[in-house]
Structure 1
Amino acid sequence: MYRILAALAACVLFGYFPAPIAVADADPYAALKRLSAGGGTPLEIRMDDRTHTPALLTGALSKPSKHTPAWIALEFANKAKRIYGIQSPHSTILVAEIGEPSASIVRVRLVHLLYKTPVWGDELRIDIDKAGIIRRVEGRIHPNLAKATLNRPRHAAVSQVEALRIAAAGAGIGRADAGRAEVRPYYLPDRAGIPLVYAVTFQRSGQSPLNLTIHALTGRVIPL
């Protein structure tokens, strides 16, 4: 018992946590067939080698619906939560973008949140046809991140203002360009400890945007 407690204490102290736990549903094919509209439409699935969650789904992935595209997409996330290893989709999945409603296919982009903060690169792009049937789901979701962090959110020691200053100094950005910068917090799911970081984007005059990532605890620039 003491050894277990000591190991947990070391994880908290040094910021190391085990890799995300595998998804709960070991048979995504069977689970997805329960969601599908059927009708002989073949279901195709491609898994992500790193997260072991679906990277691409095609077919009739839901039944016809007259609800809004946002509702249909969120309902899919709720019903497929075991497939993607998502806890409490109502609080960890956010509608970030909805395509043109007059189009034959409407795309809804869902982002994955951890402790109310976006997870870097975690999103689902869901294509819905005129009948309200989901035809395609593409993206990446890292499963069970709350468990992987022992249900402990990360706390920043560096403010967003300080992160901007660090990034500008490191990249040699002048005051004018720094004034047009965006600073957004994210969790990095592929790094040990799943750290909280700031993504800093500089909109430079006459040049392409410059992106830097700052560790919210140490203030270091993190290469991605």
Structure 2
Amino acid sequence: MRVCAVAPFAPDDAAASADPRWQAHDILRLHRLEAFDNEPAWVRDAFSRAPFVVVRRAHVAPGFVAAGVRGVARNERYGTWARCDDIESVVKPEALLSASTRSADRRALPALVVLDALRRDSSSTLDAFAWGPTGSVGFELATFTPTVTSTSDLDLLIRTPNRFPCDEAQRLQAVLDSHAMRAGIRIDAQLETPAGGVALVEYASGKARVMARHASGPRLVADPWARVHAQAGL
């Protein structure tokens, strides 16, 4: 986030374990967005145009969710806080695989063409996971607000609650790279692991440690699934 509002709760009231109903990258429709001091001027216009926010990773207090507002410009990103009572509905990335834009012209944009190709590509192994688009593609499909451009990346979230072998990750990355090359755009896939969000390309590289994005902040981990396996006695 380029700018972030000061939390409307005491630090001692915040916890890393947020309400499980909302997860990072979920898109929430709000009937009200509370304003805070030093809010950028563009935020009210953006929210009136599309009353949606994207769940972000941060410590929160009960009754709140960490959220991000998207503006029109690439640098218009605002981290804020929404009250759970103001949430009308939630759309998860995996629910967007069956969604489509209302315009044929929009569907012809490279990022949306690639998403459609991945839906139909059985060689990608994505069908083995819950997965879906995030970023500009996810936002447009969820809100019907034109957000994708001809140069937009395709951002993906892949839920991997169980260990994902590195060799399988490498094969999946190769498939994504092939689609990206044909379309002339980037595909940025993130694995949602017990340790947080991990970039597929980084994990597939075989590094000894990878960066996991967590509510507590980014951290280097050797095994994003270690906690689950430890709890299971494996």
Question: What is the TM-score of this pair, normalised by structure 2?
Answer: 0.32
TM-score when normalising by structure 1:
0.33
Rg comparison, structure with higher value: 1
Compare the two structures and name the one with the higher helix fraction: 2
